[in-house]
Chains A and B, each alone.
Chain A
Amino acid sequence: MSVAVGAERVVSMPRRRRFAPGTAVVWVVLLGALAISLAPGAYMLSLSFMDNPQLFAGRVVPWPLHPENYPQAWVASDIGRLYWNSVVVSTVSMVVTVAISALAGYGLGRIRFRGRGVIYALVLIGLTIPLQIALIPLFINLRSLGILNTRLALIGPYTGFGLAFGTYIMKGFFEGLPRELEEAARLDGAGEFGIFARVMLPLTRPALATVAIFLFLQNWNEFLFALTFITEGRMRTLPTGIYALLSSEFYGNYPILAASLVLFSVPVLVLYFLFQQQFIEGLTAGALKQ
């Protein structure tokens, strides 16, 4: 059985108690924890507006501000190119993965065919297995195919390793859809693919959104494959591009590095704040459904 979760339960919270003992304590703990959660990010933001003398004086608040760090960071880390590479790689693999996951989720969730248990077991293994198992085999094979240092060297592996999560979520969602819709469409003469594409798929929009956002962020932040399969500067994505800065001449200039980190994080945070409801609820629903 699945553990019931859902946003609708939020409304039926415990009734307000007449006397809330320690409400002050609760707030102190919560705000303290929140401060610790957010302080490092705030520190990064503050560093990105300092110059080196302020940094070495151990300052926390930057004053006077040095906003010129940002254009410098943009140029120094060639961040425009890194953005473009990251956007292309993350988006293409996300779209491909979502498409394949939706098909597979429908097949596994709604069609009783021989062998689906085995395929689903593979999906579950894919959910837990460490990326490391594929690191050497993929490196060797991508090298002999001559596609190391191309976008394809990341798009393929990202699709492969995002697929298990996507299929898992989509299968769960398709399974939960009412049978009547399908029967009605079938009586109207719709084929299996018609039922999938015109009846079922539109209903899974929330799940599709969760999968898409999750995969995009995962690809955007991925480091190990990007480090191993892209060894030249031109095709680097943001994480390894920033990592390369550490060993470059800019390591001495920490504020510029910090500004690059901020520029790197902004799209992720914007995306997160825009879609956080779907993101969090999708994730928790996925986790608690097991």
Chain B
Amino acid sequence: MASVTPAWRRHVAGYLFAGPALLVLGAFLLYPIGYSVWLSFHEWSGYTPGWGPFVGLENYRDLAQNEVFWKATLNSIVFVLVRTPLEVGLGFLLALLLNRRLPARSLLRTLFFVPVVMSLIVVTIIFQRIYEPNTGLLNTFLRAMGLDALTHPWLGDSATALPAVIAVSVWKNVGFSLVILLAGLQGLPQDVIEAARVDGAGAGQLILRVIAPLMRPILALTALLSIIGGLKVFDLIFIMTRGGPTYSTEVLATMLYREAFELNNMGIASAIAVILVTIVLGTARVQTFLLREGKESGTG
């Protein structure tokens, strides 16, 4: 076990191997974080050679009084609160259905994952077409079914734009939850499940009382990945609605882009970036903590 290499050689070797990564992470992670935090205390259009004046927390105070900011924050939260349960719930349902001997099971899994690998730009453009009020697939389908009353300008109405965007997001990501949850199901101790089945547990009971508790850590992990993905969402909304109509789909990431590159408020945009990162890392932290608790009480 004990290595004969002297300690200092180990340390040097470690840095020789990890050094390039450390440099890259420093340049693309640490430096930008510091830069953004510091810039968020300044006012700057992005076009003068130097930054504008130091303004302390002024940018954050401005945001706190900005209705669009609160709207965007609320939309980000709604986006996550609606998307994650649907994604994890539907993914779990499909994983349970696939977790049995089915012909072509592996093929089904492969096909369910296809939306995940499709590019968001492609997905959004297709769905824009599907939602198009006059000749789009959705309204055409509704008319064909005789449900003319339900036809709607889905993305054009601020009441339906956010749900319509969320639906696309769920559609694209269910396959990801499905694949992770299915792998989790396949890793469960089969003897426990078999024993419960022999004891006469019905399918519903088996899922609720045996499988779901065993799967709790993996369900929580899938939810965490979905929440983080949801908080970061940009392409989908930027391409589909640009945050409109009237900010009904504006989220923090799209607001940041608009402030930085359309309104030239680099300071405010940096403040949004800092807030967004705080929310994302905070969520990840809290949930990893809960996850660990859950795991310990689950196995202990």
A residues near B, CB below 8 A? Answer: 1, 3-6, 9-10, 12-16, 21, 26, 29-30, 33-34, 36-38, 40-41, 43-44, 47, 55-58, 60, 100-101, 103-104, 106-108, 111-116, 119, 122-123, 125-126, 128-140, 156-157, 159-161, 163-164, 167, 179, 186, 192-193, 196, 217, 220-221, 223-224, 228, 238-239, 242-243, 246, 254, 257-258, 261, 264-265, 268-269, 272-273, 276, 279-281, 283-285, 287-288, 290
Contacts and interface: CB of A to CB of B under 8 A. Distances in A.
12 contacts: A9-B186, A13-B101, A37-B175, A133-B273, A134-B29, A134-B36, A220-B119, A246-B125, A265-B119, A272-B117, A284-B180, A287-B180
A20 to B, nearest CB: 8
A106 B17 contact: yes
A132 B22 contact: no
B203 to A, nearest CB: 8
B108 A30 contact: yes
B31 to A, nearest CB: 7
Contacts of A163: 21, 24-25, 28
Contacts of A9: 186-187
Given A40-B123, A47-B129, A133-B277, A111 B13 contact: yes
B20 A284 contact: no
A114 B11 CA distance: 6
B10 interface: yes
B14 A136 contact: no
Interface size class of B (residues with CB under 8 A): 35 or more
A160 B13 contact: no
Interface stretch (B63-71, B153-161, B231-239): B231-239
A280 B109 contact: yes
Nearest to A33: B94
B284 interface: yes
A103 B260 contact: no
Interface in B91-145: 93-94, 97-102, 108-115, 117-123, 125-127, 129-130, 135, 137, 140
Interface in B208-225: 217-218, 221-222, 225
Contact of B221 (A129, A138, A290): A290
Contacts of B117: 217, 268-269, 272, 279
Contacts of A192: 5, 13, 16-17
A261 B36 contact: no
B28 A134 contact: yes
Contact of B29 (A41, A126, A139, A156): A126
Contacts of B284: 128
A284 B253 CA distance: 27
Contact of A287 (B119, B126, B221): B221
A107 B234 contact: no
Contacts of B109: 280
B30 interface: yes
Contacts of B27: 160
Contacts of A112: 10, 14
A106 B19 CA distance: 12
